[in-house]
Structure 1
Amino acid sequence: MEEEKEVNALSGMFDVKQFLQKLIGLWWLFLLCLVIGLSYAYYKNQFIQTYYNIGAMISIKDNTNPLFTNNQSLTFNWGGTTDKVTTAITQFKSRSHAENVVDRLQYYVGYIKEGDYFNIDAYKKTPFFVYIDTTQAQLYQQPIRITVLDQERFELSANFAAATASGFDYGAKEPVRVQVPQGAWKQQFQFGESIALPFFKGTIERTAENTATGEWVIRLENYWGTVMKYKGISVSQQPDGSSILALSLEGLNKQRLIDYINTSSEVLVTEELRKKNKFAVSTIAYIDSSLQTQSALLKESESELESFRDNSQLIDVSAQNAGFNEKLTSFEIQKRDLLNRLNYYENLESYLKRRSDYTSIQAPSVVGISEGSIGEYVGSLVQLSEERKRKEFTLKPDAPVFRELDRSIDALKVVIYENITSSTALLNNELGVINREINKLESQIKRLPKEQQEFLKIQRQFDITQQAYNVFQAKRAEAELVKAANVSDVYIIDEAKDTGQGGSSKDSNINYLIALLIGIAIPVTVAFILTLLDTFIHTPKELEKLSPVPLIGVVGQMKHDNNLVVYEQPRSAIAESFRGLRSSLHFMYNPESQYGSRTIMVTSSVSGEGKTFTSINLATIFALSGKRTLLVGLDLRKPKIFDDFNIENTIGVSNYLVKDATLNEIIKSSGIENLDLILSGPVPPNPSELIMTARAGDMLEELRKAYDYIVLDTPPLGLVSDAMEISKHADASLYVVRQGYTKKGMLDIINDKYLKEELGNVSLLFNYFDDRARYGYGYGYGYGAYGNGYHENTPSKTAAYRLKKQIKKLFSLSRSKATKKSIPDNDPGLKRN
């Protein structure tokens, strides 16, 4: 049982050598798939466009205004350089930034040049440029053909399926419907002419550097799709963690990439400078509004002073009372300055209590507050508020970082409140001192005549207003200087530029690689499937693995007119194979065999595996060695031997078994010395029953007395049971397996009977073996070049020869049928015993 299990396991093994042989045999399929695959890859590569990668480099630095100290500056540092780098990276990849750049360049306008295999992005390669009116609705995602006629004129054409079409308002960023002329439409225009069609509004300008004529296509693309496409710009720090940013963008049109990267950098430079000048601009706006008020007051005071002088009789009042007026004016100016500071603190405290966004707080230096602590605290508060505002775009409202920022902001507000309280107290003390000094001077002035008092009052009011006006003008000049001196924290190191760099075709090599892999994979897969599905036996080694029955020999493949190969070509490789088989059979005989005769049974699984061929040539090789040999045709169902010896199959075993002939009457001469024949005779209706009769055994016992070797050509063991009955009378049994014909499953019968010892002294013979397609095995076959001079060469068969053989086979088949019909099934002489 263990041996049976081992055989079954071996039968399921994958034959690697057989797989390799099939793969080599499919070289034509490999070549065909490779040619088809590479041809298709070449065709596909014609549709592959060239991609370009354009880059630029910028620097993010904390460029502080060098003209002002920290106490004077109207700007704040928003988190330092590290925070600015992070902000810049985020801004480059933000949707709003991409929108800004796309709107500037109108990148939703597609320029198309139709090619043989694909359309080309013709941005800045056309002799014109399109400027659309973003305040009006435009035709959306439908091509409009532009035919350049000459240097002055062009033609627009399109084909519309309906009276309305999809449109888009690129200003409002929303889809609309536009009216279009149904059917084919075309119209000529002048370059630079304002076009106001219901579906297209804008201007098409002629480019000076391109004077070509021809046809192009423009199409207004999906706005948000365009924005998201450029939102994917690559931004990285070079090296990692530094303030140097490397920008890169990949696409089909090199100039489009260059323009986007450079414009994107310019937008960031402008935005950063706008942020930096934010407080200077708001300060200038505040001062301008204050100057207007002070200017009106100054004109009013000047007019009042001139009117008083014209109507007064006082002579040189200014000179007489210059000391009083100068002191009082100085105190009044100091008082106004203190009141401005107190007003700032009051407004600041109210702002902090009422508002939650502290990014618009005015710098303390605007009103002359030079305390470093209050300016530092206000700057820190604005910085934290700005940071919180930025994080609101990327984080959830309940993120822990907001709680931490809010705690820091609240702590700063408490400190600022304390500073406001202490500073307000000090300013109120100073204000009290100044008020007392003013009261002293005013008491002294009251002793003067009424007219002089009135003049001094008007003069003092004029001087105070004049002084305030001068202060605001100085502050405005300071703010303008700060704004002019500010530079952006973004510095362009290398702008994007066409340096002649080539592009790359992403998939061209991949397509060829895929074609190569497919060209290999298909033959390998076919060979693998054929190997898995191949149920035939191909090599002697495979046969040895599949069956525990010993392999006694291998007979090669040879083209010949009939089965008499050994007799007609005794020096052939086939003849040598049978000589080797004859020698091997000596080790299988029972040494106690009666009469010294040897009986050899030849069978197989099914018809067509070479039983008759083996029987004839094995008997012939015994006869040629001088032994009295008898070849008996016991295949009563499908007789064949008679055809090779050109003998009529009119009498034979079937006649003897039904007692219609004697033994001497059925023995025929073969025409070969020492070889006699007993044919099977007419086909009986009950062959199995005839074989099972005692007369069949008696016949073989009688023949043993007269012959040295008896070769029995029996029916297939896999189809009928006749061979099992005959095997009882055989000294040895040969089970013929044919290369590429016998299926692996057919060996189950012989394996089962061998393991159960139902068929003794049996060996396998591997027939029709072609060593040119398989592996050399020995057994007297497959000598190759070493056989030259020892074996006869097999002549090549022509087409005429093969045709002649087929005709002869058909004739023999018809004659065999006629013989079969000559003995009716109801013949009383052949009835079952």
Structure 2
Amino acid sequence: MAAKEETELEEMIRNAGGMEAEEKEDAGDGLDITTLLQVARKSLPWIALLIALGLTGSWLFLRYTKPVYQSSSVIKIDERTEAGVLGMGSIGGAVEKRQELANLSGEVELIKSNLIYRRLKDSLALDVNYYVEGTVLESELYKRSPFKVEYAIKDPAFYNRKLNVNFLSPTQFRLSYLEAKEEISGDYIVGQPINIPGISLKLTTDSSFFDASALEAQFYFVILDDGSVNGYLNRNISVEIVNPEAHTVQIAFADFNPLKAQDIVNKIDTVYLQEKLAQKKEASDKSLRFLGEQTDVTNDKLQQAEDNLQSFARENKTYDVRGDAATVINKIADQEEKRQELLQRQSLLEDLSRLVEQDQITSNEDSTVAQSIPGLAELEDNRLMQEIEALNNQQWDLRRVLRSYKETTEAVKQRRVQLDFTKNTIRRLLDQNKELLQEQVNKMNRQRDELSAKLAGLPEKATQQARLQRPFELYEKTYVSLINRELEFRIGQAGTTADFQILSPASLPSAPISPVRAMVYAIGLAGGIVLGLGLIAVRYFLHDTVTNTRELERMTSAALLGVIPTYDKEKMTVSKLVVDKNPKSAISESIRSIRTNLDFIGSARKKRIISVTSTVSGEGKTFVTVNLGGIIALSEQRVIILDLDMRKPKVNLAFGTENVRGISTILIEKHTVEECIQHTDIPTLDFISAGPTPPNPSELILNPKFDELLAELHQQYDVILIDTPPVGLVTDGILIMRKADIPLYIVRAGYSKKAFLKNINKLMRTNNFTRLSTILNDASATGLAGYGYGYGYGYGQGYYDEPTPPKGIISRLRQRIS
């Protein structure tokens, strides 16, 4: 019962040990903050260099990039629809409200149109640009050029061509340019006409800017054609609606020269004002012409009616013939007045039909229907008024588009189609109104006939007088109305102002909008930091080898028995016994410390079997075995070293002897143990080499003869040190470790991969190696965690002739980075 409980307890301990090993293995896969900080600390000089390079790149970018300046102004546009101009406020108000945004968009397009550009080019000299070449960049000499050029181009090839000017003296200069990759130059006198095939020039100097420095500078000028100037304006101008509710628009212009940008924005404001005033004057003139024509026609009719009344008065010698016919006459007068209104509406509809049918709209000269007929307010058909207003807006839109586009463009065609559709709608509505008015006129005619029949019995003179009086009064009222309307238009024209205000005129920009120095330097700094962090990440992820005791303890559950520092006394091609040559050296002290730690694992006087293994060849397994055996032997204990790495024996090389016989010949009973034991310079240290390489090393180790060999050696020696094959390559080492009292596992700093440490945890879990301990070999000063020793030694070829120190380019890069 007690034995069963003890077995269960041991099983629980093994399970707990396995779980702890698994946790250690999982923890090794996580982020190692300490290693990351160590890598970051080593990378600080590189990070500082990358940041310096980033800032230097930002400085170079700013040095070789021309700054761009932007000047802007804000204007308020109070654009009114023609419905409001013609007095149709109740009808046009709703339409005007819906079209506010459309009108603002139209004004934006007008500002960016070729019409404004033409006025701008007439006001500013944008066709010739003057430059001076600097050390790095050229500068435009806007309004401060020491010379001016007058030109007449015959060959268009001279447009947009660089023409160099070098002053030889204040009165002489050299002009040069490239023609078919060949430089053509000539010396000329200032102010003298220059006739070159294809171009005529005249260069004059400006005393305000011409000084001694002009004789040393390199100048050139470029003559731009209209297309280049338009392209330059289109690329750099920006017109945006700032607030649709407030009708505000921002006009901005960007250029390398701040003064030029300011002048262009201010000049755009000016030419836009001139264009708006010209448009308003043109609309007023057309309205006045129409009113004048109607006034003349009405005046003629009124004069004729007056003549008729005068003739009647002369013939009848009286002005009042009413009598009993007064009541009937009043009715006829009222009826006739209504009839005349209908006839006037018919006339208005006819005039409207005639103007709608005419297609005389051009980009600058023709008026809209609403401008041509100021009496549209007398119509009572709201639908017709809306369509007329739509036609009016489409005519203005078409006029605006024709300023910038040709008739064949798609934008003009679409607006023509919309215009035709609106005209058809208006025709249909006009026909309906004509039919309705004709019916009313016919009805009024019948009523007039009835009243006239009633007057048949009345005195003929009264009837004739009333008939003559009616048109006179009607024409008199119409004439007075037209005179008043014409007077209002003339008063309005006298005080014509543009429908916009400059809220914020353009100012001289003091700082460039591009490049922004702070942003460029911030990008350079951020780029250097990002590259530095990337370098840290790369170095961290390439850091795949064990370098210090902290990593070893963190990633394995095995106890750390000790650390062997780097041995730098000599460069050895094979492992050697070195502790007997200098007992006071750092390496001897470190191995002596390992010997002391072994005493805590097992009693120093007890017979012990110690196996030494590693994951792969080249980690210092043989070196540690030989020197650990030497240190233990120097403590007056009898030690024998067995070389069981029969595939790649190296213990005999450490002692400088041959490998003619050894473990393999003992196990096949070719030699006895006494025949194979070899002595060393240390009296209490012996060894048995591996012997000739057998074809089946694993079978020999499983042979009972091996256990007999260990039992026999136990009788003669206190400690048996076994140099086993690497467990990462063959399984022989695991078989030997099972027979050992203390299995040791060698990890070489800077050589052993971190992935190898998982093999240690796996060995402990699967084979229950509770006493398995690790030794960190070839540790540098940083890997000793407080020791500070240093040594180095080299190894030969690895197991199965693998190169021990990696010599590839990638491997050397990894070593250098880590």
Same-fold status (TM-score > 0.5):
yes
Unaligned segments of structure 2, at least 5 residues: 1-14, 301-310, 319-339, 362-366, 402-410, 453-460, 469-478, 570-575, 797-818
Residue in structure 1 matched with residue 107 of structure 2 by the alignment = 91
How far did 1:241 drift? 1.9
Q: Give the Cα separation in 1 of the matches to 2:189 and 2:414.
A: 55
Q: Secondary structure at the match of 2:785?
A: coil
**In structure 1, what residue type is equivalent to 2:50?**
C
Q: Give the Cα separation in 2 of the matches to 1:370 and 1:714.
A: 115
Q: Give the Cα separation in 2 of the matches to 1:605 and 1:577.
A: 21
**In structure 2, what residue type is equivalent to 1:40?**
G
Output one character per residue of 1:510-561: Cα deviation in whole Å (capped at 9) or x when no partner: 443443344334444344344445543335565567667x344341424364
Q: Give the Cα separation in 2 of the matches to 1:144 and 1:407.
A: 59
The reply to whether residue 100 of structure 1 matches residue 108 of structure 2 is no
The reply to whether residue 559 of structure 1 matches residue 558 of structure 2 is no
Q: Give the Cα separation in 2 of the matches to 1:497 and 1:293.
A: 55
Q: Secondary structure at the match of 1:56?
A: strand
Contact 1:599 1:709 in 2 (8 A): yes
Q: 1:71 to 1:699 in 2, by over 3 A?
A: closer
Matched ranges for 1:701-720 at <5 A: 701-719=711-729
Choose which of 710, 714, 720 in structure 2 pairs with 1:700: 710
Residue in structure 2 matched with residue 494 of structure 1 by the alignment = 504
Matched ranges for 1:184-333 at <5 A: 184-186=184-186, 188=188, 191=191, 199-200=198-199, 209-211=208-210, 213=214, 214=217, 215-220=219-224, 222-223=227-228, 225-237=231-243, 241-283=245-287
The reply to whether residue 536 of structure 1 matches residue 539 of structure 2 is no
Residue in structure 2 matched with residue 483 of structure 1 by the alignment = 493
The reply to whether residue 123 of structure 1 matches residue 142 of structure 2 is yes
Q: Secondary structure at the match of 1:613?
A: helix
How far did 1:410 drift? 7.5
Matched ranges for 1:386-785 at <5 A: 386-389=392-395, 481-498=491-508, 501-506=510-515, 508-540=517-549, 542-543=551-552, 550-559=558-567, 561=569, 564-565=578-579, 568=582, 575=589, 579=593, 582-583=596-597, 586-587=600-601, 596-620=606-630, 622-623=632-633, 627-635=637-645, 653=662, 657=666, 663=674, 666-668=677-679, 670-671=681-682, 675-680=684-689, 684-686=692-694, 692=701, 696-719=706-729, 723-724=733-734, 726-727=736-737, 729-744=739-754, 746=756, 756-757=766-767, 763-768=772-777, 770=779, 772-773=781-782, 782-783=785-786
How far did 1:729 drift? 4.3
Q: Give the Cα separation in 1 of the matches to 2:763 and 2:247.
A: 87
Output one character per residue of 1:356-404: Cα deviation in whole Å (capped at 9) or x when no partner: 8781455567xxx798778999997764333234567689959999999
Q: Give the Cα separation in 1 of the matches to 2:188 and 2:637.
A: 111
**In structure 1, what residue type is equivalent to 2:717?**
Y
Measured on the aligned residues, the alpha-carbon RMSD in Å equals: 6.0
Q: Give the Cα separation in 2 of the matches to 1:116 and 1:482.
A: 60
Q: Give the Cα separation in 1 of the matches to 2:489 and 2:196.
A: 49
48-57 or 107-116, which deviates more: 107-116
| TM-score, L = length of structure 2 | 0.65
Q: 1:563 to 1:46 in 2, by over 3 A?
A: farther
Contact 2:74 2:250 in 1 (8 A): yes
Choose which of 348, 351, 354 in structure 1 pairs with 2:351: 348
Contact 1:670 1:677 in 2 (8 A): no
How far did 1:782 drift? 3.3
How far did 1:489 drift? 0.7
Choose which of 51, 54, 62 in structure 1 pairs with 2:71: 54
**In structure 2, what residue type is equivalent to 1:246?**
Q
Contact 1:63 1:487 in 2 (8 A): no
Q: 1:654 to 1:361 in 2, by over 3 A?
A: closer
**In structure 1, what residue type is equivalent to 2:503?**
I
Q: 1:703 to 1:509 in 2, by over 3 A?
A: same
The reply to whether residue 44 of structure 1 matches residue 64 of structure 2 is no
How far did 1:273 drift? 1.9
Q: 1:782 to 1:290 in 2, by over 3 A?
A: closer
**In structure 1, what residue type is equivalent to 2:677?**
I
518-527 or 242-251, which deviates more: 518-527
Q: 1:395 to 1:751 in 2, by over 3 A?
A: farther
- Number of residue-to-residue matches in the alignment: 690
Q: Give the Cα separation in 1 of the matches to 2:164 and 2:93.
A: 53
How far did 1:161 drift? 0.7
Q: Secondary structure at the match of 1:248?
A: strand
**In structure 2, what residue type is equivalent to 1:233?**
V
Residue in structure 1 matched with residue 390 of structure 2 by the alignment = 384
Q: 1:85 to 1:47 in 2, by over 3 A?
A: same
Residue in structure 1 matched with residue 455 of structure 2 by the alignment = none
**In structure 2, what residue type is equivalent to 1:730?**
A
Q: Give the Cα separation in 1 of the matches to 2:419 and 2:561.
A: 91
Per residue, is there more helix in 1 or in 2? 2
How far did 1:704 drift? 0.7
Q: 1:6 to 1:745 in 2, by over 3 A?
A: same
**In structure 1, what residue type is equivalent to 2:506?**
A
Q: 1:277 to 1:421 in 2, by over 3 A?
A: farther
Q: Give the Cα separation in 2 of the matches to 1:663 and 1:102.
A: 116
Contact 2:629 2:685 in 1 (8 A): no
Unaligned segments of structure 1, at least 5 residues: 163-181, 298-320, 329-336, 444-468, 775-780, 785-792, 811-833
Q: Secondary structure at the match of 2:245?
A: coil
**In structure 1, what residue type is equivalent to 2:161?**
Q
Q: Give the Cα separation in 1 of the matches to 2:28 and 2:786.
A: 29
Q: Give the Cα separation in 2 of the matches to 1:209 and 1:478.
A: 53
Q: Secondary structure at the match of 1:615?
A: helix
| TM-score, L = length of structure 1 | 0.64
Contact 1:146 1:218 in 2 (8 A): no
Residue in structure 1 matched with residue 11 of structure 2 by the alignment = none
Q: Give the Cα separation in 2 of the matches to 1:729 and 1:227.
A: 92
Q: 1:203 to 1:383 in 2, by over 3 A?
A: farther
Q: Give the Cα separation in 2 of the matches to 1:391 and 1:247.
A: 22
How far did 1:476 drift? 8.3
Output one character per residue of 1:337-364: Cα deviation in whole Å (capped at 9) or x when no partner: 99x9899737624425524878145556
Q: Secondary structure at the match of 2:54?
A: helix
Contact 1:110 1:218 in 2 (8 A): yes
Q: Give the Cα separation in 2 of the matches to 1:470 and 1:155.
A: 75
The reply to whether residue 113 of structure 1 matches residue 116 of structure 2 is no
Output one character per residue of 1:653-703: Cα deviation in whole Å (capped at 9) or x when no partner: 46973756762883535437xx4222528x635486596466554332222
Q: 1:402 to 1:569 in 2, by over 3 A?
A: farther
Q: 1:478 to 1:289 in 2, by over 3 A?
A: same
Q: Give the Cα separation in 2 of the matches to 1:275 and 1:768.
A: 96
- Aligned-residue identity in percent: 18
